Structure 1
Amino acid sequence: MDKKNYVPAYVQLAQILRQRIAGNVYTSGSRLPSESAIAKNFGISAMTARQAIGILHEEGLIDRIQGRGTFVRQLQFTSSSFGLDTLRRLFIKKDRLESSIIDASVRPASGDLTDILQLEAGSNVIVVERLILLSKTPIIFHTGYARADAKSPFVETMLDTDVLTGLLLESNVSSFKKARLQLLPASLNQREADLLQLEKGKNVFKLTHTYFSFDDLPSAYGWFLIAPDQMPLICRMGVWND
């Protein structure tokens, strides 16, 4: 470890331990040295060792078992998870991203929407349909429904491209308390296929979203239709150096 390095000692130590796991010095399922042993070996405090171990635990590389010690986590397919990093990376390309509103109107809520948004019978909803383009090529068709309340922050969210992008990039999350996402398979109808410039019946991902206000009411609902080649699902397990 380089004590003159501006990188904190616990971060340096975490990287060293990570490399040892990647290099099979600490094999899958094996027990790591104790925090006191690591501290003595590297000439650091026990607190620094504990912080480094904490980083590896947060990364899912190790397991702490009370009364037994700390062990290198074995690869477990059942505990793997898939994120939306690919979709996130698409929205990072703001300079190449465009949004075109196809429809923005107020309509009576259907029976399904009445249930999803917990509306009274006969209520209206604001409907926004948006086509998102990357370098002039349509990649996502978004449909959103919100309670017909002009004061609701969800109305701004649905109409403002920057706000929508901010939600996906986690830079504007103050307008709702929580959200539920669900990834489903879907097939494009003729209108959707025409908008996305794909063939009718093509299989796509349907990413549904429900936003909840701070009083725990579902205030907006909708979905993104995304071609699988635009959002491959990738899960990384184990130690990666990049």
Structure 2
Amino acid sequence: MKTKPNPIDRSSFEPAYLQLVRVLREQIAAGQFRPGDRLPSESQLCRRYQVSPMTVRRAINLLLEQGVVTTERGRGTFVKPLELGGVSFSLDRFQDLLTDRDGARIQLLDVRIVEADERVAAELDLPVGDRVIHMQRLFHKNGEPLIYHAHHLIYDPKRPVVEAEMEVTSLYGLLSGSGTSLVKWGRLGVHAAVLDASQARLLRRSEGAPAFYLEHTFYDYEDRPVSWGGFTCPGDCFHFTATVGVVEGCEPSRAAPGRI
């Protein structure tokens, strides 16, 4: 009986554990292992693919990170069933727009110091009436206005708000990795919305047209809010897609919103 060739290529620049991950994902995608099935044991995988226990452990750990499998102490590794509640949507296309310096243009509409109303004060943990910086921007792609951004920044006379800090609190710096050390972490949320008269005029849409609102709050290294606001994008040019489960030839955990 002819022996099936080992799919792990020792001469490849790709590490053996990544090759093993690819092999196992292909087998799961082909239905050789189905949700709830137990994968071969560590020793079986070592023998079958002529790899070390460390290689197998690294491969299984990566499959765990990708959400493909689960492990149970004393029982083994199992193919993870579909869980719609665990689906993640990325902001890759949104990032492309904000970091594409050639095809995109950022128009600064307004920057002014205002007094925080009750909503702004609550979001930024400030007394009502404290001074804050209000910014408005319009993001263009190939000459078309696609995203309206309005947010409020903490006003600190001891720390001038330079452009770099404006960028990091407007999400550009966080996505591109070019921001300052002002922001430690952020919280994002997507809500259904409709365009008001001002937004519709700026985005060249009809008033009341459906839109997405990406709300953000960013925090400093003392976990204090430093920026709150959101991005408004017409619903016809921003949508979310995600791949659920393991599909042959599909990269793990990749999701892209829209046609932006």
TM bin, normalised by shorter chain, reads over 0.9
- Residue of structure 1 equivalent to 2:208: 201
Post-superposition Cα deviations, 1:128-185, rounded to whole Å, max 9, x if no partner, equal 1000000110000000101111455865356449975232334537321111111111
Contact persistence 1:100–1:131 (CA under 8 A) = yes
- For 2:43 and 2:29, locate their aligned partners in 1 and report how far apart those are by CA, in whole Å: 22
2:180 & 2:165 partners in 1: Cα distance?
13
Show the counterpart of 2:83: 76
| Equivalent in 112, 131, 144 of residue 138 of structure 2 | 131
Matched position secondary structure for 2:208: coil
2:133 is paired with a residue whose SS is strand
Residue 24 of structure 1 corresponds to which residue in structure 2? 31
Structure 1 pair 132/142, CA: closer, same or farther in 2 (3 Å)? same
Report the Cα distance in structure 2 between the residues aligned to 1:36 and 1:171, rounded to whole angstroms.
Answer: 45
What is residue 190 of structure 1 aligned with on the other side?
Answer: 197
1:227 maps to amino acid: P
> What secondary structure sits across from 2:223 in the alignment?
coil
- Select the residue among 47, 56, 59 that pairs with 2:66: 59
CA 1:161–1:74 in 2, change beyond 3 Å: closer, same or farther? Answer: closer
CA separation in 2, counterparts of 1:175 and 1:112? Answer: 23
Change (3 A) 1:162 1:220: closer
1:5 aligns with 2:12: yes
Cα distance in 2 for residues equivalent to 1:197 and 1:34: 59
1:114 alignment partner in structure 2: 121
Question: How far did 1:192 drift?
Answer: 0.6
Q: Which amino acid aligns with 1:177?
A: K
Superposed, 1:127-206 pairs within 5 Å as 127-152=134-159, 156-157=163-164, 159-160=166-167, 164-172=171-179, 174-206=181-213
Cα-Cα RMSD: 2.1
Q: Report if aligned partners of 1:129, 1:144 keep a CA contact under 8 Å in 2.
A: yes
Q: In the superposition, relative to structure 1, how do residues 152 and 202 fare at CA in structure 2: closer, same or farther (>3 Å)? A: farther
TM-score by length of 2: 0.86
- When residues 193 and 211 of structure 1 are mapped into structure 2, their CA distance, relative to the original with a 3 A threshold, is same
1:91 positional shift? 2.8
Q: State the secondary structure of the residue aligned to 2:20.
A: helix
User: What code does the residue aligned with 1:106 have?
Assistant: I
Query: Alignment length, in residue pairs?
Result: 242
Residues 128 and 143 in structure 1, CA contact (< 8 A), matched pair in contact too: yes
SS of residue matched to 2:102: helix
Structure 2: segments with no counterpart, 5+ residues: 1-7, 251-260
| Corresponding letter in the other structure for 2:123 | I
Alpha-carbon distance between aligned partners in 2 of 1:230 and 1:212, rounded to the nearest angstrom: 29
Q: Distance in 2 between matches of 1:33 and 1:147?
A: 55
- Verify the 8 A CA contact 1:86 1:230 in the aligned structure 2: no
Amino acid at match of 2:20: L
- d(CA) in 1 for partners of 2:223, 2:85: 31
| Range with greater deviation from structure 2 (226-235 or 196-205) | 226-235
* Bigger shift: residues 144-153 or 110-119: 144-153
After TM superposition, the score normalised by the length of structure 1 is 0.92
The answer on 1:223 being equivalent to 2:230 is: yes
Secondary structure of 1:95 counterpart:
coil
Pair 1:59–1:74, CA change in 2 (3 A): same
Greater mean alpha carbon deviation, residues 147-156 or residues 207-216: 147-156
Q: Report the CA distance shift for 1:218/1:227 in structure 2 as closer, same or farther (over 3 A).
A: same
Q: Which of 20, 32, 42 is matched with 1:35 structurally?
A: 42
